[in-house]
A = this chain, B = another copy of it.
């Protein structure tokens, strides 16, 4: 079967930049390409958009197909569309890139269709990426760094219950600068949507910290009232 059009069409793909956090570092989910071009190179998960398929759906589908990662209700946002001729050696391919935030420990990844491997790579120590994926990743990092300051998106990277130290460490990682401990705690709690669960950590070889959670309903309420956060 084949499809014929009166004018030539660029191909349309989606690519996903999935950021994840484990105990130490901020990481990104990459696949090792099983086919040409760039066979054996690491790349962002992604692939062709089907006809009559929504582009966001395509991003989720490719992610699940290639890495086993299901993002049914997690943070996924459109990043930018890259359409410079030459970015794919085969032909003119336009790619709509997305970025997602997940807590690594809540998900397991495994290579599937079109991927020889799927793995989390620390941002500090990345392999050479296929296509223009290094550029896409760079744009995603800039966007994340900018957006985390005025939207509470960072919580998607943490487990449901977290300590204020974990939260502070997250912000320091994303903003790439140190943050004052007392001022940070004061401000976060003053925002009103980071709430104490009443529980504390267990099995830690030190004084256990209180556990907090992100109250999304409360955040939406504040947002409706016109409040603005700024970290």
Partner-B contacts on A (CB < 8 A) = 1-12, 48-56, 78, 80-81, 83-85, 91-92, 94, 96
Are A12 and B94 touching (Cβ within 8 A)?
Answer: yes
List residues of chain B with CB within 8 A of the CB of A91.
Answer: 51
Assuming the contacts A80-B78, A81-B81, asked whether A8 and B96 have C-beta atoms less than 8 A apart, the reply is no
List residues of chain B with CB within 8 A of the CB of A51.
Answer: 7-10, 91-92
Measured between alpha carbons, how far is A55 from B85 in the docked complex, in Å?
Answer: 9
Are A55 and B94 touching (Cβ within 8 A)?
Answer: yes
Measured between alpha carbons, how far is A132 from B123 in the docked complex, in Å?
Answer: 38
How far in angstroms is the closest Cβ of chain B from A6?
6
How far in angstroms is the closest Cβ of chain B from A120?
27
A-B CB proximity, top 4 nearest: A55-B83, A8-B51, A3-B8, A4-B4
Measured between alpha carbons, how far is A85 from B9 in the docked complex, in Å?
Answer: 17
